[in-house]
């Protein structure tokens, strides 16, 4: 005689857990574009929504988009080319916040690379001087702010939707 366990109770528990998971909704936080630089640090490596107008796409491949409003801007990068028809449109971009840090180590590497390129003839005197000035601006800004690094934020593209026009 072979008997099977009665799994009715376990099945109902599993069903409840599945229903709870299915009804839980994760809401993607929305950051106002004007607040993006100030709040992005709280969302590094997390998905957020940002609304703005597509000012332009990068001409070299179209995989970078510049989202703006009257108060601020943010760069959005994608693996695939953006559709040119987005230019001038107000859109909601979902993207993962990425942080690029400039610190003394980064400045030293830039400095070394700049000197090397100049010595090897890959950079002329003007390019060399411009890069040198940029490195000094980074250092001056860190000193002025009393910080050991500067953070620059961008979004890795997830999705886009047009903002419906108001009636």
Model confidence pLDDT, tens digit, residues 56-92: 998 888 999 999 998 899 999 999 999 999 999 999 9
Does the pLDDT value for residue 30 go beyond 90? Answer: yes
Unique residue bearing structure tokens 């030293």: 108
Whole-number Å distance between alpha carbons of 131 and 37: 24
| pLDDT level of residue 5 (50, 70, 90 thresholds) | very low
Which pTM value belongs to this model?
0.75
Does the pLDDT value for residue 155 go beyond 60? Answer: yes
The answer to whether 95 and 155 have CB atoms below 8 angstroms apart is: yes
Q: Which of 65, 78, 67 is nearest to 34 (CA)?
A: 67
| pLDDT level of residue 4 (50, 70, 90 thresholds) | very low
| pLDDT level of residue 162 (50, 70, 90 thresholds) | confident
Whole-number Å distance between alpha carbons of 164 and 159: 16
Over range 19-37, report the average pLDDT.
Answer: 78
Residues 6+ away with beta carbon under 8 Å from 163: 51, 89, 90, 91, 92
Which segments of the chain are extended strands (E)? 47-57, 64-68, 73-77, 90-103, 149-162
Main-chain dihedrals φ then ψ at residue 78, nearest 5 degrees: -130, 165
E strand or H helix that includes residue 16: helix 8-23
| pLDDT level of residue 141 (50, 70, 90 thresholds) | very high
């Amino acid at each position: 005689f072979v008997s099977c366990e009665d799994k009715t109770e376990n099945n109902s528990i599993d069903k409840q857990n599945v229903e709870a998971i299915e009804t839980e909704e994760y809401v993607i936080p929305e950051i106002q574009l004007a607040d993006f630089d100030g709040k992005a640090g709280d969302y590094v490596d997390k998905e957020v929504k940002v609304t703005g107008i597509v000012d332009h796409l990068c001409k070299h491949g179209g995989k970078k988009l510049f989202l703006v409003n009257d108060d601020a801007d943010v760069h959005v990068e994608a693996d695939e080319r953006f559709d040119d028809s987005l230019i001038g449109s107000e859109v909601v971009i979902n993207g993962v916040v990425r942080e690029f840090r400039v610190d003394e180590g980064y400045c030293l590497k830039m400095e070394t690379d700049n000197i090397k390129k100049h010595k090897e003839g890959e950079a002329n005197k003007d390019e060399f001087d411009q890069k040198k000035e940029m490195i000094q601006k980074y250092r001056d800004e860190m000193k002025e702010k009393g910080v050991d690094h500067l953070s620059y934020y961008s979004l890795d593209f997830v999705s886009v939707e047009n903002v419906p026009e108001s009636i």
